[in-house]
Structure 1
Amino acid sequence: MDDIPVPLPARPSRFMDCFRAFIRARHLAYKTEKTYCFWVKDFIRFNGMQRPEDLGKTEVDKWLGHLANRRAVSINTQKTALNAVVFLYKQFLNIDLGDLQFERTSKGRRLPVVFTHEEAMAILGNMQGHHKLAASLMYGSGLRVMETVRLRVQDVDFGRQCLFVRETKGDKWRRTILPRSLLQPLQAQVEFALALHKRDLEEGFGEVYLPGALAKKYPRAATSPGWQYVFPAPERATDPRSDVIRRHHIGEQQVRRAVASALRISGIRKKASCHTFRHSFATNLLSKGTDIRNIQELLGHTDVNTTMIYTHVIGVHERGVVSPLD
């Protein structure tokens, strides 16, 4: 259960516990919480464990410059660190840092690694069971690994052959395509999940975690079939948020390890991961002539410029440009 927030004291007193509680009160994603806490701790360590209240613009500029010059982080990493420390000061401490003058990193943004269709199918061919189905959804529907494991039964629309992706990065809901080739295996997975849920109910359990305040608003929803995870965990476990014994979804790390193992078996030496399937989904559609705006909508990107990076990935040779030598 690697996406469940660590429990906090009822009345937090330590600085980082108070910071975490502040983030949760604003309903930010747990991944955002972990990322912000990581960079805030890094900032505090860089400044000799001094209290952030005693630091300010000068120390922030030095730290961000250190990330660029000494640690050679990428542009996106420096931006993430900046967002974390600005949130700390502006939102949590109510301190205005003013106009920051830090040295920006010169390490440019790298193009994402993608699979050819043959490579993607070779990797999937070396996977089995629900891990294979999860990876197939990442490639066939453009899902993130987080979105895949968090799919609920009600998110699958077999009639219209689409998926509703609700528990997403930035809480931006979207609808994406459901490949015809996955209709039967996904239907079997849903039936398995519901059978497992039925057994849990018979044994006096059957509740599932509901996001936000839905559990209070709809008390019976936690045991309804529609809210159950499509990829349920093999065992029930105690939810540290409420001490209720529930069945969570399979862990993201399980899927990552299965993909990494299939990569090794397939002999593909690209620096790839689960997210490479999502990149490959986009580039495959783009190379087949799908409009960039449609791809943006399917991926859930707020800014089309984020999606435009895939125009560089597919390469000019896939757009009909031929070398003079050939």
Structure 2
Amino acid sequence: MSSPSPPYRGRFAPSPTGRLHFGSLIAALGSWLRARAAGGTWLVRIEDIDPPREVPGAADDILATLAAFGLDPDEPVLWQHARTDAYDAALASLRENDLAFACWCSRADLAAHGGLHHGACVAAPDASRAPAWRVRAPAQVVAFRDALAGDYAQHLANEAGDFVVRRVEGFYAYQLAVVVDDAYQGITEVVRGADLLDSTPRQIWLQRALGVPTPAYLHLPLALGPDGRKLSKTDSARPVDGDDPLPALRAALAFLGLPAPLLAAASSPPRLLRTAVDRFDLANVPRPVLPVSESGR
């Protein structure tokens, strides 16, 4: 007899690099709807481990905007800046198992190799400066089935190379931190934008290497600007208005396949969200376009 599935636990994990914009609202809503439709728990995690890119006050602004839209987490917010000890332990485990190594290669050093690190370092060790830490990407294909995008596979060595888990500056990379924190919070399904679809095989490999569970994955289609590019805080996409949440909330729910006439009838965010939970159907959400690799995330 198989053991029962654990209760659903989902999350929204923004980086505080600017105010909440429409594309991020879609990711927040998609994860919230999946959790509520499953009768599960919805969490918020602030991924503040990249200080050079962070905007002062952005994290508090994001949390206030989510609250204005009726998206309140079920447990206290987790802040990644307070989780360094856990990332240290994960890196130590990788090193003990000879899965991570110190690397002094710069982007310029790797340019002649397609920007990827394969096997031996191009640059020699340099005791005068700190190294980055990379994992040894095996020559294997990691495949998974996404709830919306379908089957996806990546040859780690060829497509990702030996990827960074701690940067030269001492900051932990997204790939390691997200794996450690999804396991710590007991996340059963990761719902996020399709721009992170190609990061998932690396994260699944890290989950296996660290001996933690692999959640299910659902990558949502991206909201695009007039130029056809994804909306991004770093591109100064217009933030959503927490003082007048209904227009953006209706637009984001329509993007996720909810019928427009139904959305127009609700007169407040709580009523609109209650209606959305009852009518949300993953079959009505457009399939995402497979992304161009964003290996630096």
**TM-score (structure 1 length as normaliser):** 0.26
Higher relative contact order (CA 8 A, sep 6+): 2
Structure having the higher helix fraction is 1
**Which is higher, the Rg of structure 1 or of structure 2?**
1
Structure having the higher strand fraction is 2
